Amino acid sequence: MENNMIQETSCEDSTNRRKERSEKEHRDMVNRLSRIEGQIRGIKGMVEKNAYCTDILIQVAAVNAALNSFNRVLLADHIKTCVTQDILDGKEETVDELVDTLKKLMK
């Protein structure tokens, strides 16, 4: 983000499909994803070095757990901000969108 002074945390209308996040929220998300990216690179290195299968599987499980944790934090924030505000604004279709998203996450 070029603007380090972003304070807005609300979602914009669904036609724009963007959300401005606080600097802290943005930094926390990027940091989490950077750690996950590092874990993925580590797994790739393990494969390239012919590491033992179960050692790789354990690392893959750790990445899955990290991604699930990222999803939980992002989903909670989405419900607390975007979904809540849309409901207050009378945009009840957001609930249907949330249900569809949850179905995809629970596959």
Q: Which residues of the chain have pLDDT under 50?
A: 1-9
Instruction: Give pLDDT, residue 107.
Output: 87
Instruction: Give pLDDT, residue 3.
Output: 41
Per-residue burial over 54-83, b if 16 or more Cβ lie within 10 Å, else e, is eebeebeeebeebeeeeeeeeeebbeebbb
The answer to whether 36 and 17 are in contact (CB under 8 A) is no
Instruction: Give pLDDT, residue 20.
Output: 87
- The candidate with the shortest Cα–Cα distance to 22, out of 4, 3, 6, 11, is 6
pLDDT 10s digits, 49-61: 999 999 999 999 9
- The candidate with the shortest Cα–Cα distance to 61, out of 46, 43, 44, 73, is 43
- Would you list the DSSP string of 17-63? --B---HHHHHHHHHHHHHHHHHHHHHHHHHHTT--HHHHHHHHHHH
Question: What tokens were used for 48?
Answer: 């390239």
